[in-house]
């Protein structure tokens, strides 16, 4: 263990001019790692800070690329190789932030392949260097009949007598692959194993939204005319006199669940935000309308209408990653859409079942464009919830009443009927299926449907999101109460 | 005195007839849970009946919003009427149909129970509360509603309905114990009436089937005996046992059990055969029993026994086409075509026998012999029709067209059908101009126009195709089809902007149709157009 004095002298040495660049680079790298974790899992920092963090690390890389000119080529190549990682991270982050999801996937995959090859090159180079060194040592020293274990030494007993170099290369490749796989798995776990979802802290009641309009003052222009005047006046007719009404419009209603001030949920947190998570799945177009900001528009509309804190970006997750959320910090709803194939394996079905039942989640499905997708979704739900029947959700169900009263189910195109279908467990809606491409109406151009239908589509979206959050927090509140009683 | 009482009875008969005529048409259109009792209807005043009939007229036309207002009006105007609970019940039905199920329960069915607890409608409302909750997936509330119905009105028809729905819920929830309890209750304990009989019979059969699958054969027979007697019971037992036999035969370990069950059923079925066969009824019951035995042996793969029984039947009952047909089918399934042909030749109905032989030749790909038989048939209409069909199957379209032309002369009643078939032959052989001409002769708008337009599209004569599709738009039910086809035609013609416009118009004008859904997806996937117009209309 280092003593306090040793630590102090080490820290002083680290800030000396010759060590300062290295110290700063290490700090920048740690910060970069934290930014990366936050971007992929924690969601605590705003996106502009991510941009600064990721771009700043590129500056550090540029400095190191500039610095060693004239020094040996191996060191320069090492810097290039290490510098590749932040560059790869920046490309992936930037394409994701710009909403170019196919490009993000491309950069992620190509970068991973490149990282594998770079690492392999370095492993081969190092093994070759060391084995040459041992060969040289063996040539200089007299032969001693000792069993050697060092894998870098070609004379190690397990390489045998023939084709030692081939055996060493094979072992190197195998070991490298295992190590790389291990690192990738660990990195994947870091970004996925500790995900949490926190709703905004606040209160409110699950009631219909009503606006308070109070007329503050009416200013009426008066025309005072002397009836005995010699001048002829032409006063305007009464209907042409414009009333200047100053309205005081205030939405007194707080959308939420609980008694805390502001709109939100009693079991939420101050840093919590409502998020919009779309599920990724294999075989189809899960990302339909994503580039047209359907999810983001809906999320922002939810924030504007409910006055709850919302995230400033939409998110996507593979179904398998739902298991990374703990039961009490899990997203109250997830969204799924598409129009082609819906291929969800039995493992993902199990995760989905656990999410819906044990984590009290809600699956918000939207038929993005074909009867086939609708049929596949209904079949999927039969497998996920085999003991629950799909039923038409009535128009006076709370999900269609609160906070907005929906007079009829709005749709863009009736791909799978004209009624919303629900799966109810213990009085709670666990899945909501919209048959008519509601996501298209949320997208930037609203699919060209009328303003009224677009508005109803947003209202339906708000209702489903709010219902999911309210039910989730009712459950959390009940759990808290139960725990309190037990104490 | 006598004449006065006669006059009175005549008057009452007339009144009853009028009343029956007034109630009958509506009663036919409405289901059991939506009907008013005759006694209640007769106790109402004329104005009240008139108001109810107005409301019912709209209800039957699926104009539920108007019907709702009419029932509401009835309740406002005639609150004290004997028909008020019925009006309230129907008001609730309207709400449920308009997808306001919670309102229907809370303000409708519950109000019937609260305000008129002694009425017949209150009993129906009690059940309907459970069913409404069931319809919206609130299973816990539905179950308690059904249980309340069963407990409060155990003798009433709705109690059976409630039990049947509880049974369905248990099935969905995979609660086998509860399911068996309900089935046993419906089979053994529920009093049988004419109204609930079908539900109870179904429950009995379901219970017997489940017991057979579980290997409780005696229990299954005991259940069936509550509903069926002697011979009928054996037949039903046989019908139900088939599924269980197949189930046992599928498993390697349970195969023996399957064969044993089949043998026991065969033993029971054989008792149905009269010892002395004299009358036609005896012959019919023996034939039916033997056919059942044949089916059971065939299921268990004992074909020699099947053949034995076929031959035995022919010997005992005498040779007829039905029995010979069964034997021939047995040979046919075993691919013993010569023996099958030989059996068909023994048919009394020689023409039918020949047709079946020709069919057999076709099955063996010996078409020349089949054609020879069809040509030799005395009934030329049948012969030429079959011949034409065979030629089409063999893709010999010219020969088929020749047959159809002969048919046009000898069977003028169906001339349009033959012209259409000629058009199809021309189309299949890619002589599209001839096909268009042939379709043009058929008087069947807009079907022919669509066909002709499709040929023009294949010929890349897009302008003509579009003209025909445009005319099809006049026919309202075909208009979405026409719009869709117009869009695709423009696409094929390379006029993408016009195609997009056609698809957008389809989405806008017919947003509820399936075509609008297809057009919407097509615009997005093929043209990358997201502004597809369309959208729901207020209903």
Closest Cβ opposite residue A436 in set B140, B524, B536: B536
The stretches of B377-411 forming alpha helices (DSSP H) are 380-393, 397-410
Tell whether B528 and B493 lie within a shared domain: yes
Structural domain of residue A433, as residue ranges?
259-486
Tell whether A120 and A174 lie within a shared domain: yes
Tell whether B417 and B383 lie within a shared domain: yes
Tell whether B516 and B410 lie within a shared domain: no
- The count of residues in chain B is 539
Tell whether B41 and B130 lie within a shared domain: yes
Give which of B535, B538, B539 to mutate to test A binding, by max A Cβ within 10 Å.
B535
Shortest alpha-carbon distance between residue B477 and chain A (Å) = 18
Determine contact, residues B521/A440, Cβ cutoff 8 Å.
no
Shortest alpha-carbon distance between residue B251 and chain A (Å) = 25
Rounded to 5 degrees, φ, ψ at A336 are -140, 135
Structure confidence at residue A149 (pLDDT): 83
Tell whether B26 and B126 lie within a shared domain: yes
Tell whether B462 and B439 lie within a shared domain: no
Determine contact, residues B522/B486, Cβ cutoff 8 Å.
no
Closest Cβ opposite residue A447 in set B100, B141, B531: B531
Spatial distance between the Cα atoms of A311 and B225, rounded to a whole number of angstroms: 68
Q: Tell me whether residue A200 is in a domain.
A: no
Closest Cβ opposite residue A414 in set B517, B525, B530: B517
Tell whether A213 and A95 lie within a shared domain: no
Shortest alpha-carbon distance between residue B171 and chain A (Å) = 9
* Cis peptide bond prior to A403, omega within 30° of 0: yes
3-state helix, strand, coil in chain B (%, to 5): 80, 0, 20
Q: CB neighbours (10 Å) of residue B360?
A: 20
- Categorize the per-residue pLDDT at B1 as very low, low, confident or very high, splitting at 50, 70 and 90: very low
Residue whose token pair is 């305007």: A236
Q: What is the mean pLDDT of residues B306-310?
A: 95
* Cis peptide bond prior to B446, omega within 30° of 0: yes
Tell whether B471 and B496 lie within a shared domain: yes
DSSP 8-state assignment for residue B191:
P
Rounded to 5 degrees, φ, ψ at A249 are -105, 125
Mean pLDDT of chain A: 85
Question: Chain B residues with CB inside 8 Å of A447's CB?
Answer: 520, 530-535
Determine contact, residues A83/A61, Cβ cutoff 8 Å.
yes
Q: Do B102 and A393 touch (CB under 8 A)?
A: no
In 3D space, the residue among A285, A282, A281, A304 whose CA is nearest the CA of residue A440 turns out to be A285
Tell whether B390 and B347 lie within a shared domain: no
Q: Is the pLDDT of residue A204 over 70?
A: yes
Region of A337 (left: φ > 0; alpha: ψ -120 to 50; beta: rest) is beta
Question: Chain A residues with CB inside 8 Å of B98's CB?
Answer: 395
Question: Chain A residues with CB inside 8 Å of B524's CB?
Answer: 339, 369
B9 contacts: CB under 8 Å, gap ≥ 6: none
Shortest alpha-carbon distance between residue B211 and chain A (Å) = 23
User: What are A343's strand-pairing partners?
Assistant: A282
DSSP 8-state assignment for residue A463:
H
How far are the Cα atoms of A139, B140, B183, B476 from residue B178, in angstroms, in the given order?
Answer: 85, 15, 9, 52
Q: Tell me whether residue A161 is in a domain.
A: yes
Question: Chain B residues with CB inside 8 Å of A453's CB?
Answer: 535-536
Two structure tokens written together for A327: 């039961």
Given CB atoms, is A356 within the 8 Å cutoff of chain B? no
Structure confidence at residue B25 (pLDDT): 42
Spatial distance between the Cα atoms of B233 and B43, rounded to a whole number of angstroms: 46
- β pairing state of A315-318 and A244-250: unpaired
DSSP 8-state assignment for residue A264:
S
B7 contacts: CB under 8 Å, gap ≥ 6: none
Tell whether A170 and A245 lie within a shared domain: no
Q: Do B521 and A339 touch (CB under 8 A)?
A: yes
Mean pLDDT of chain B: 92
Count of domains forming chain B: 4
Question: Chain B residues with CB inside 8 Å of A418's CB?
Answer: 512, 536
Q: Tell me whether residue B539 is in a domain.
A: yes
Q: Tell me whether residue A203 is in a domain.
A: no
Q: Tell me whether residue B534 is in a domain.
A: yes
Query: If you measure CA to CA, which chain B residue comes closest to A368?
Result: B521
Structure confidence at residue B105 (pLDDT): 97
Residue whose token pair is 């700090």: A27
Q: Is the pLDDT of residue A37 over 70?
A: yes
A131 contacts: CB under 8 Å, gap ≥ 6: A152, A153, A154, A165, A168
Tell whether A222 and A188 lie within a shared domain: no
Query: If you measure CA to CA, which chain A residue comes closest to B524?
Result: A369
Dump pLDDT digits (tens) for A369-417.
888 899 999 999 999 999 999 999 999 999 999 899 999 999 998 888 8
Dump pLDDT digits (tens) for B204-223.
999 999 999 999 999 999 99
Tell whether B440 and B484 lie within a shared domain: no
How far are the Cα atoms of A121, A149, A156, B265, B339 from residue A167, in angstroms, in the given order?
Answer: 17, 14, 11, 71, 72
Determine contact, residues A61/A86, Cβ cutoff 8 Å.
yes
Q: CB neighbours (10 Å) of residue B387?
A: 25
Q: Tell me whether residue A2 is in a domain.
A: no
Tell whether A396 and A266 lie within a shared domain: yes
Q: Do A413 and B532 touch (CB under 8 A)?
A: yes
Q: Tell me whether residue B470 is in a domain.
A: yes
Burial code (b: 16+ CB inside 10 Å, e: under 16) for A250-284 equals eeebbbbbbebebbbbbbbeeebbbbbbbbebeeb
Residue with the larger pLDDT of the pair A79 and B447: B447
B223 contacts: CB under 8 Å, gap ≥ 6: B187, B188, B204, B207, B208, B211
Q: Is the pLDDT of residue B48 over 60?
A: yes
Tell me which of A129-133, A281-285, B45-49, B239-243 is least confident. Answer: A281-285
Rounded to 5 degrees, φ, ψ at A3 are -80, 170
Q: Is the pLDDT of residue B177 over 50?
A: yes
Question: Chain B residues with CB inside 8 Å of A382's CB?
Answer: none
Q: What is the mean pLDDT of residues B231-258?
A: 94
Q: Do B99 and A396 touch (CB under 8 A)?
A: yes
Structure confidence at residue A253 (pLDDT): 64
Q: Do A453 and B536 touch (CB under 8 A)?
A: yes
Predicted complex: ipTM over 0.85: no
Report the SS3 class of residue A212.
strand
Dump pLDDT digits (tens) for A232-249.
666 666 656 566 655 555
Residue with the larger pLDDT of the pair A418 and B127: B127
Residue with the larger pLDDT of the pair A148 and A427: A427
Q: Tell me whether residue A3 is in a domain.
A: no
Q: Tell me whether residue B181 is in a domain.
A: no
Closest Cβ opposite residue B100 in set A390, A394, A440: A394
Q: Do B100 and A453 touch (CB under 8 A)?
A: no
Helix B380-393 and helix B367-376: axis angle, to 10°? Answer: 160
Q: Tell me whether residue B82 is in a domain.
A: yes
Domain boundary among B119, B136, B153: B136
Structure confidence at residue A196 (pLDDT): 81
Q: Tell me whether residue B538 is in a domain.
A: yes
- Categorize the per-residue pLDDT at B27 as very low, low, confident or very high, splitting at 50, 70 and 90: very low
Tell whether A411 and A433 lie within a shared domain: yes
In 3D space, the residue among B269, B270, B245 whose CA is nearest the CA of residue B259 turns out to be B245
Interface of A with B in 433-452 (CB under 8 A): 436-437, 440-441, 443, 445, 447-450
Structural domain of residue B511, as residue ranges?
458-539
How far are the Cα atoms of A221, A305, B255, B272 from residue B268, in angstroms, in the given order?
Answer: 103, 73, 20, 7
Give which of A288, A413, A434 to mutate to test B binding, by max B Cβ within 10 Å.
A413
Tell whether A471 and A335 lie within a shared domain: yes
Question: Chain B residues with CB inside 8 Å of A407's CB?
Answer: 538
- The count of residues in chain A is 487
Write the burial class of residue B291 (CB in 10 Å: 0-12 exposed, 13-18 middle, 19+ buried).
middle
Question: Chain B residues with CB inside 8 Å of A422's CB?
Answer: 136-137
Q: Tell me whether residue A1 is in a domain.
A: no
Structure confidence at residue A212 (pLDDT): 55
Q: Do A388 and B524 touch (CB under 8 A)?
A: no
Spatial distance between the Cα atoms of A455 and A444, rounded to a whole number of angstroms: 13
Question: Chain B residues with CB inside 8 Å of A412's CB?
Answer: 520, 532, 534-536
Q: Tell me whether residue A199 is in a domain.
A: no
Two structure tokens written together for B34: 């939506």
Spatial distance between the Cα atoms of A409 and A420, rounded to a whole number of angstroms: 7
Tell whether B91 and B40 lie within a shared domain: yes
How far are the Cα atoms of A239, A285, A288, A371 from residue A367, in angstroms, in the given order?
Answer: 50, 11, 10, 8
Given CB atoms, is A34 within the 8 Å cutoff of chain B? no
Domain boundary among B109, B136, B163: B136
Closest Cβ opposite residue B136 in set A292, A391, A443: A391
Tell me which of A41-50, A187-196, B352-361, B487-496 is least confident. Answer: A187-196
Q: What is the mean pLDDT of residues A38-57?
A: 82
Q: Tell me whether residue A318 is in a domain.
A: yes
Question: Chain A residues with CB inside 8 Å of B68's CB?
Answer: none
Tell whether A227 and A317 lie within a shared domain: no
Closest Cβ opposite residue A371 in set B135, B517, B524: B517
Cα four-point dihedral sign A251, A256, A257, A258 = negative
Residue with the larger pLDDT of the pair B14 and A213: A213
Give which of B513, B536, B538 to mutate to test A binding, by max A Cβ within 10 Å.
B536
Closest Cβ opposite residue A397 in set B102, B174, B517: B102
Shortest alpha-carbon distance between residue A421 and chain B (Å) = 9
Question: Chain A residues with CB inside 8 Å of B521's CB?
Answer: 339, 369-370, 413, 415
Cα four-point dihedral sign A295, A297, A303, A309 = positive
Q: Do B530 and A436 touch (CB under 8 A)?
A: no
User: What are B302's strand-pairing partners?
Assistant: none
Tell whether A241 and A337 lie within a shared domain: no
Tell whether A317 and A423 lie within a shared domain: yes
Q: Tell me whether residue B272 is in a domain.
A: no
Question: Chain A residues with CB inside 8 Å of B174's CB?
Answer: 386-387
In 3D space, the residue among A254, A115, A127 whose CA is nearest the CA of residue A180 turns out to be A115
DSSP H/E element including A333: strand A333-338
CATH number, domain containing residue A334:
3.40.50.12140
The residues of B whose Cβ lies within 8 A of any Cβ of A are 98-103, 135-141, 172-174, 504, 507, 511-514, 516-517, 519-521, 524-525, 530-536, 538-539
H and E: helices and strands count for chain B: 30, 0
Q: What is the mean pLDDT of residues B124-133?
A: 97
Write the burial class of residue B83 (CB in 10 Å: 0-12 exposed, 13-18 middle, 19+ buried).
buried
Shortest alpha-carbon distance between residue A453 and chain B (Å) = 7
Tell whether B423 and B517 lie within a shared domain: no
Count of domains forming chain A: 3
In 3D space, the residue among A430, A368, A359 whose CA is nearest the CA of residue A399 turns out to be A430
Domain boundary among B136, B153, B185: B136
Tell whether A165 and A284 lie within a shared domain: no
CATH number, domain containing residue B408:
1.25.40.10
Report the SS3 class of residue A213.
strand
Q: What is the mean pLDDT of residues A56-80?
A: 82
Closest Cβ opposite residue A415 in set B100, B101, B517: B517
Interface of A with B in 278-307 (CB under 8 A): 289, 292
Tell whether A332 and A385 lie within a shared domain: yes
Spatial distance between the Cα atoms of B72 and B99, rounded to a whole number of angstroms: 17
Shortest alpha-carbon distance between residue A154 and chain B (Å) = 59
Residue with the larger pLDDT of the pair B440 and B19: B440
Given CB atoms, is A432 within the 8 Å cutoff of chain B? no
């Amino acid at each position: 263990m280092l003593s306090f004095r040793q630590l102090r002298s080490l820290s002083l040495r680290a800030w000396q001019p010759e060590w300062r660049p290295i110290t700063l680079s290490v700090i920048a790298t740690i910060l970069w790692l934290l930014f990366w974790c936050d971007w992929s899992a924690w969601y605590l920092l705003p996106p502009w800070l991510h941009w600064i963090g990721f771009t700043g690390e590129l500056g550090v890389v540029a400095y190191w690329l500039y610095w060693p000119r004239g020094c040996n080529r191996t060191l320069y190549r090492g810097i290039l190789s290490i510098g590749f990682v932040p560059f790869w991270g920046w490309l992936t982050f930037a394409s994701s932030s710009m909403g170019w999801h196919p490009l993000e996937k491309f950069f992620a995959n190509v970068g991973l392949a490149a990282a594998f090859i770079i690492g392999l090159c370095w492993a081969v180079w190092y093994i070759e260097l060391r084995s040459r060194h041992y060969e040289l040592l063996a040539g200089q020293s007299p032969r001693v009949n000792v069993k050697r274990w060092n894998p870098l030494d070609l004379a190690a007993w397990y390489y045998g007598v023939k084709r030692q170099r081939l055996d060493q290369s094979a072992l190197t490749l195998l070991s490298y692959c295992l190590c790389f796989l291990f690192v990738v798995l660990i990195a994947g776990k870091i970004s996925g194993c500790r995900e949490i979802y926190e709703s905004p802290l606040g209160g409110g009641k699950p009631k219909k939204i009503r606006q308070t309009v109070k007329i503050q003052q009416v200013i009426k222009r008066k025309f005072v005319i002397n009836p005995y005047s010699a001048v002829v006046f032409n006063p305007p007719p009464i209907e042409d006199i414009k009333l200047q009404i100053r309205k005081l419009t205030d939405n007194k209603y707080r959308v939420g669940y609980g008694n805390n001030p502001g709109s939100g949920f009693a079991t939420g947190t101050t840093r919590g935000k409502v998020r919009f998570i779309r599920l990724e799945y294999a075989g189809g177009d899960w990302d339909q309308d994503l580039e047209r900001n359907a999810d983001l528009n809906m999320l922002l509309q939810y924030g504007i209408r409910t006055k709850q804190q919302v995230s400033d970006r939409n998110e996507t997750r593979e179904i398998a990653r739902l298991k990374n959320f703990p039961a009490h910090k899990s997203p109250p709803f997830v969204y799924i859409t598409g129009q082609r194939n819906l291929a969800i394996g039995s493992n993902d079905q199990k995760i989905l079942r656990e999410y819906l039942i044990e984590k009290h989640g809600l699956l918000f499905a939207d038929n993005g464009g074909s009867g086939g997708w609708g049929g596949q979704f209904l079949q999927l739900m039969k497998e996920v919830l085999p003991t629950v029947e799909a039923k038409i959700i009535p128009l006076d169900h709370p999900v269609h009443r609160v906070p907005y009263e929906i007079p009829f189910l709005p749709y863009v195109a009736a791909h799978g009927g004209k009624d919303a279908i629900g799966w109810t467990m213990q009085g709670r809606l666990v899945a909501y299926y919209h048959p008519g491409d509601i996501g298209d109406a949320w997208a930037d151009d609203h699919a060209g449907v009328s303003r009224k239908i677009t508005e109803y589509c947003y209202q339906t979206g708000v209702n489903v999101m709010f219902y999911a959050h309210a039910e989730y927090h009712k459950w959390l509140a009940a759990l808290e109460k139960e725990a309190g009683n037990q104490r | 005195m006598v004449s006065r009482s006669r006059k009175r009875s005549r008057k009452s008969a007339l009144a009853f007839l009028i009343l029956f005529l007034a109630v009958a048409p509506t009663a036919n259109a409405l289901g059991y849970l939506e009907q008013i009792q005759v006694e209640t209807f007769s106790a109402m005043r004329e104005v009240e009946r008139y108001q109810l009939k107005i409301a019912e007229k709209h209800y039957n036309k699926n104009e539920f919003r108007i019907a709702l207002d009419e029932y509401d009006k009835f309740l406002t105007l005639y609150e004290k009427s004997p028909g008020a609970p019925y009006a309230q019940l129907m008001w609730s039905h309207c709400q449920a149909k308009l997808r306001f199920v919670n309102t229907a329960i809370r303000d409708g069915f519950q109000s019937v129970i609260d305000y008129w607890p002694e009425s017949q409608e209150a009993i129906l409302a009690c059940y309907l509360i459970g069913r409404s909750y069931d319809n919206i997936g609130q299973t816990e509330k539905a179950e308690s509603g059904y249980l309340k119905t069963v407990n409060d009105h155990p003798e009433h028809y709705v109690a059976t309905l409630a039990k049947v729905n509880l049974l369905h819920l248990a099935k969905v929830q995979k609660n086998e114990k509860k399911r068996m309890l309900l089935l046993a209750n419906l089979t053994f304990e529920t009093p049988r009436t004419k109204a609930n009989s079908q539900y109870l019979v179904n429950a009995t059969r379901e219970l017997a089937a489940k017991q057979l699958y579980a290997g409780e054969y005696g229990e299954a027979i005991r259940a069936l005996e509550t509903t069926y007697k002697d011979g009928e019971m054996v037949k039903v037992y046989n019908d139900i046992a088939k599924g269980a036999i197949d189930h046992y035969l599928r498993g390697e370990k349970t195969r023996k059990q399957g064969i044993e069950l089949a043998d026991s059923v065969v033993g029971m079925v054989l008792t149905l055969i009269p010892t002395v066969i004299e009358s036609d009824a005896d012959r019919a019951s023996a034939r039916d029993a033997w056919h059942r035995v044949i089916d059971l042996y065939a299921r268990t793969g004992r074909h020699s026994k099947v053949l034995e029984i076929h031959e035995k039947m022919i010997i005992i009952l005498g040779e007829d086409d039905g029995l010979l047909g069964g034997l021939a089918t047995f040979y046919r399934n075993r691919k013993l075509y010569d023996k099958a042909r030989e059996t068909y030749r023994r048919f009394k109905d020689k023409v039918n026998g020949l047709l079946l032989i020709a069919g057999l030749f076709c099955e063996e790909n010996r078409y020349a012999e089949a054609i020879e038989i069809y040509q030799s048939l005395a009934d030329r209409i049948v012969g030429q029709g079959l011949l034409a069909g065979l030629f089409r199957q063999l893709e010999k379209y010219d020969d088929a067209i020749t047959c159809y032309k002969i048919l046009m002369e000898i069977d003028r009643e169906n001339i349009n059908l033959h012209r259409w078939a000629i058009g199809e032959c021309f189309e299949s052989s890619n002589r599209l101009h001839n096909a268009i001409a042939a379709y043009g002769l058929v008087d069947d708008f807009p079907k022919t126009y669509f066909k002709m337009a499709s040929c023009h599209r294949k010929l890349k004569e897009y302008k003509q195709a579009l003209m025909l599709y445009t005319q099809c738009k006049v026919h309202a039910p075909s208009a979405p089809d026409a719009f869709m086809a117009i869009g695709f035609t423009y696409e094929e013609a390379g006029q993408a902007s016009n195609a997009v416009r056609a698809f957008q118009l389809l989405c806008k004008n017919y947003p509820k149709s399936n075509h609008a859904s297809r057009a919407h997806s097509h615009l997005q996937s093929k043209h990358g157009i997201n502004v597809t117009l369309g959208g729901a209309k207020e209903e």
